[in-house]
A = this chain, B = another copy of it.
Amino acid sequence: MSGLFHDLERSPTNTQVALDELLSAAKWNDDGLIPAIAQQHDSGEVLMMAWMNRAALEETLSTGRVCYWSRSRQAFWRKGETSGQQQQLVEARFDCDGDTLLLQVDQSGPACHTGRRSCFYLRLSTSMAEIDREPLMSADELYGMNR
């Protein structure tokens, strides 16, 4: 584990470190990415998980609008750029070992590309999985007929 995150584990509350130093110590994976969980700030609903590289995180913190890194497109993914359903950043946090981000966001409309509010609409039981969330709008409405 990175020395800085390890040192912070036992540091007192209110300890501060420079963002640049923390980002240099964070555990970006072999592709330079860290998973980021997006949670609606007021309801607490977990909306989605996507990935960020350092530049995407820095852009998100400076603009206040959430920007991921799309692994499939290998490009910045400014949430809402195509669908119009933006994510505004309320708060960003790293976890104890610097390998996961938690974003408190304000999401307009659906976060999921299927038109559902959250991507987590497949509930598991011991033998089955079931779709238990309705779309707020269709994928066609969200992206037009090109999709």
Interface residues of A (CB under 8 A from B): 8-19, 22, 35, 37, 39, 43-46, 48-49, 61-62, 91-97, 100, 102, 112-114, 116, 119-134, 139
Contacts and interface: CB of A to CB of B under 8 A. Distances in A.
Given A12-B131, A128-B19, A46 B46 contact: yes
A129 B95 contact: no
Contacts of A11: 131
24 contacts: A11-B131, A13-B132, A13-B134, A16-B129, A17-B128, A17-B130, A35-B35, A35-B49, A37-B37, A37-B49, A39-B46, A44-B44, A49-B95, A49-B100, A61-B125, A62-B126, A91-B123, A91-B124, A92-B124, A93-B124, A94-B124, A94-B129, A96-B112, A97-B119
B91 A122 contact: no
Contacts of A112: 96
Given A129-B19, A131-B14, A96 B123 contact: no
Nearest to A112: B96
B95 A13 contact: no
